[in-house]
Chains A and B, each alone.
Chain A
Amino acid sequence: MGMFEYAPAPESRSVVDIAPSYGLFIDGEFVPPASSGGVFKTVNPATEEVLAEVSTAGPEDVDRAVTAARRAAGPWSALPGAERAKYLFRIARIIQERSRELAVLESLDNGKPIRESRDIDLPLVAAHFFYYAGWADKLRYAGFGADPRPLGVAAQVIPWNFPLLMLAWKIAPALATGNTVVLKPAETTPLSALFFADVCRQADLPPGVVNIVTGAGETGRTLVEHPGVDKVAFTGSTEVGRQIARSVAGTRKRLTLELGGKAANIVFDDAPIDQAVEGIVNGIFFNQGHVCCAGSRLLIQESVYDEVLESLKRRMATLRVGDPLDKNTDVGAINSAEQLERIRTLSDIGAEEGAERWSPPCTLPAQGFWFAPTIFTGVTQAHRIAREEIFGPVLSVLTFRTPAEAIEKANNTPYGLSAGVWSEKGSRILAVADKLRAGVVWANTFNKFDPTSPFGGYKESGYGREGGRHGLEAYLA
């Protein structure tokens, strides 16, 4: 930009204390894992600096956690709903009070810009606990029968893209409905969940109601396959979701899955172009594109293709990529070396398959995991980058001529999590929204979330809904 450079505006990392090492949070206490040596490191993806050592929960630890949750389930579900509500309200308040610490911690461990963890993740986390707190004593009015009962112990496995928000989506409704939980955060982003354990203690939540076990995929598998679990809730990749669905087959465990996506973001020629461009940018570059509902397939009506693409490129040139703790950063670090590799591989395939690759000029830091915001033009439905979830800041641009073609292309995917539509014509919006096979349709907006608004997919994007009244169903018998 030349004339008006913003000076660095880093959020202070000293607002949050990170311990050198963490145990497992079981039955209200941090405990060492049963077998020593089960330790892994979590790093700051922006710098590759080790933030802390975290314990790997083995089968014995998972069993302890499930047992603790089972023991706590009876008394917790027997509490009057109003009392459970007050615990959740307490948790919500503590999160609000400590949101600056949590936002910094989240950005450190995940790599997301502080602007997003501060202005989006944390407010939504608190709001989610507030929302479900209020349900705890109103369940009989929720439409699931006169006396809905909790399921028991919920095993919850969450991803690394919104570590604390996904925790809130899982824990808040489970607790409100009288279940107890064993939650496993992703191995690259365990710190905010461990911080949340401390929030539970500060709220005097009874021991065993929330248990946090850390570890990688093996710990997650052990947890969901544990016979003492009544309910499994998973957010993550479609492939792992499939494995979990197979593993719980025949067990009578209740299962909800929130999996991958390859959302179409459809821009009609009568769209509010400037806002559509914002929506496209927000759709794919929000959270570095590490968003299951990201608008990763842009469908532009051919009659406005040049105009939209030019505006998009101009807008992308203003994206500020860099230090996640800088308050002016728009696009932070890729969460892990592994994810970076996947993004690179699929992007290279896109180029090999003949799509045209473009990124704005931007200097990436030397340390850490980074990927410049990227678009591919000349993409067709036959390209792998139009079919596979990249889970990074990479947008595939396709075109269409008519509404019917747009709908056909949008639905031509095994996924069905979300979609976007941009048009100023009300009847067109409603008709297109009707025909899209996706659980969330954002019309003239994108990537909006709210605790009252049900979220979840069609087809291979999973089943069950999180959020809203609908979100209670997954935790009630």
Chain B
Amino acid sequence: MPESSSSRSRKSAPTSAGKAVAVRRSSAVRAGTTAGVPAVAPVTPPGPPGRLAVRKTYKLFIGGAFPRSESGRTYLVDGDNAALASRKDARDAVVAARKAQPKWAGATAYNRGQVLYRVAEMLEARHAEFVACGVPAAEVDAAVDRWVWYAGWADKIAQVHGGANPVAGPFFNISAPEPTGVVGVVAPASFLGLVSVIAPAIVTGNTVVVLAPAPQAAIILAEVLATSDMPGGVVNILTGHPAETAPWLASHDDVNALDLTGVTDPALAADLERTAAGSLKRVVRPAGDPDFTADPGLTPMTSLLETKTVWHPKGF
């Protein structure tokens, strides 16, 4: 696991309403015996003494539902049993993403913007829960703001990135961006990074299969998406080891683009790029270590867009 998430400590965090949120304690026994996963000190849940907290099961998010991995596998992250996605989960997620894509792309840009804005509202509402699972409050703030920023792009990107072309003849000629289709995303570990790769992909009408290395925040985000008018299948989130599942997305003929922002191993990135060439996927691989706090610019959106140019004669 990347350093950032493992170093986060868990604690109870007050919500804006001042209510305490119960945070599930980790299983000290398993945490202590699992090699490579640092043990996290048990957290005593608040409330009356003797009350046992209800824990959350972290499952996958596919087609708007929260299934367990078809493989039945889990892996331990910060004391939680996260679902360990398999290649078949990746396959199912691609099917769900493809199924959702035409309708999502066919929604009006205004509607997509509204849905994304609703996601931001729900993110804000779950602020404390993200903080509780270890995301710094300022990063949650930034993630909400980033989501709002992208929500506003839904009905503007076509005007900025497309337009009329003054061809030398009696023709109406216009170029407009269109979503590239289904995008496989290897998300970065940080929550702001996760938001910064999902939002620009979907705001334009793509659907995504996200391989998320930091499962808790990713699945809380899935819960946000599931409760914010986002059609099922637009965002699909698989937790587990990207090195295991990413090659299946890279080689999947029904995936149109691959975002490798979260791949830190250059050899794996090169392999995935090579595999993606099989069906000529668009591959996004930012140079260096991206600074997600900086202005993202248009590239995260435009690199997952096609440009369609339509000609029509003009004549009485």
| Residues in A lying within 8 Å of B, measured CB to CB | 127, 143, 145, 238, 241-242, 245-246, 249-250, 252, 257, 259, 414, 429, 433, 436, 438-445, 448, 450, 452-456, 458-460, 462-463, 465, 468-470, 473
Contact = CB atoms under 8 A, between A and B. Distances in A.
A396 B309 CA distance: 24
B306 interface: yes
Interface in B165-184: 165-169, 171, 173, 175, 180
B165 A249 contact: no
B100 to A, nearest CB: 16
Given A450-B169, A470-B175, A249 B306 contact: no
Contacts of B48: none
A453 B310 CA distance: 9
Contact of B312 (A257, A414, A444, A470): A444
Contacts of A462: 280
B110 interface: no
A429 B256 CA distance: 26
Interface string B261-303: 0000011011101101111101000010000000001100010
A9 B171 CA distance: 32
B311 A438 contact: no
B165 A450 contact: yes
Interface of B: 160-161, 163, 165-169, 171, 173, 175, 180, 253, 256, 266-267, 269-271, 273-274, 276-280, 282, 287, 297-298, 302, 306-313
Given A127-B168, A450-B173, A463 B309 contact: no
A459 B256 CA distance: 7
Given A250-B269, A443-B312, A454-B175, A470 B307 contact: yes
Contact of A245 (B160, B277, B308): B277
A448 B312 contact: no
B308 A439 contact: yes
Nearest to A440: B309
A51 to B, nearest CB: 32
A246 B274 contact: yes
A242 B307 contact: no
A458 B309 contact: no
B311 A453 contact: yes
Contacts of A469: 163
B256 A453 contact: no
Given A246-B274, A440-B310, 13 more contacts: A143-B161, A245-B277, A250-B267, A259-B280, A414-B253, A433-B308, A439-B306, A441-B311, A450-B165, A452-B167, A452-B168, A458-B180, A473-B302
Query: By DSSP majority rule, is chain B's interface helix, strand, loop, or mixed?
Result: mixed
Nearest to A272: B313
Nearest to A463: B282
B311 A468 contact: no
Contact of A445 (B171, B180, B256): B171
Contacts of A445: 171, 311-313
A296 to B, nearest CB: 18
Contacts of A448: 167, 169, 171, 311
B259 to A, nearest CB: 14
A453 B302 CA distance: 18
Contacts of A238: 280
Contact of A250 (B273, B278, B297, B302): B273
Nearest to B177: A470
Given A242-B280, A459-B256, A468-B175, A440 B308 contact: yes
10 contacts: A249-B274, A441-B310, A443-B312, A448-B167, A453-B165, A453-B167, A453-B173, A454-B175, A458-B180, A468-B175
B281 to A, nearest CB: 9
A241 B280 contact: yes
Contact of B280 (A250, A252, A459, A473): A459
Contacts of A439: 306-309
A450 B167 contact: yes
Contacts of B309: 439-441, 453-455, 468
B297 A242 contact: no
A429 B311 CA distance: 11
B311 A442 contact: yes
Contacts of A452: 165-168, 173
Nearest to A452: B165
B277 A249 contact: yes
A242 B167 CA distance: 32
Contacts of A246: 274, 277
B308 A441 contact: yes
A245 B273 CA distance: 8
A250 B256 contact: no
B102 to A, nearest CB: 9
A429 B171 contact: no
A440 B273 contact: no
Contacts of B256: 459
Nearest to B273: A249
Contacts of B165: 450, 452-454, 468
A145 B294 CA distance: 14
Contacts of B306: 439, 458
A456 B282 CA distance: 13
Nearest to A460: B280
B267 to A, nearest CB: 8
A470 B308 CA distance: 11
Nearest to A468: B165
* A-B pairs, 3 with minimum CB distance: A250-B270, A245-B277, A249-B273
Contacts of B274: 246, 249-250
B122 to A, nearest CB: 31
Q: Which of A238, A454, A462 has the most CB of B within 10 A?
A: A454
Contacts of A433: 308, 310
Nearest to A455: B309
Q: Which of B160, B165, B270, B271 has the most CB of A within 10 A?
A: B165
A392 B231 CA distance: 45
B279 A414 contact: yes
Q: Which of A145, A241, A440 has the most CB of B within 10 A?
A: A440
Contact of B310 (A443, A465, A468): A443
B277 A440 contact: no
A127 B169 CA distance: 13
Contacts of A241: 280
Contacts of A465: 307
Nearest to B166: A452
Nearest to A250: B270
A126 to B, nearest CB: 11
Q: Which of A145, A242, A414, A459 has the most CB of B within 10 A?
A: A459
B316 to A, nearest CB: 13
Q: Which of A249, A259, A429 has the most CB of B within 10 A?
A: A249
B287 A252 contact: yes
B252 to A, nearest CB: 13
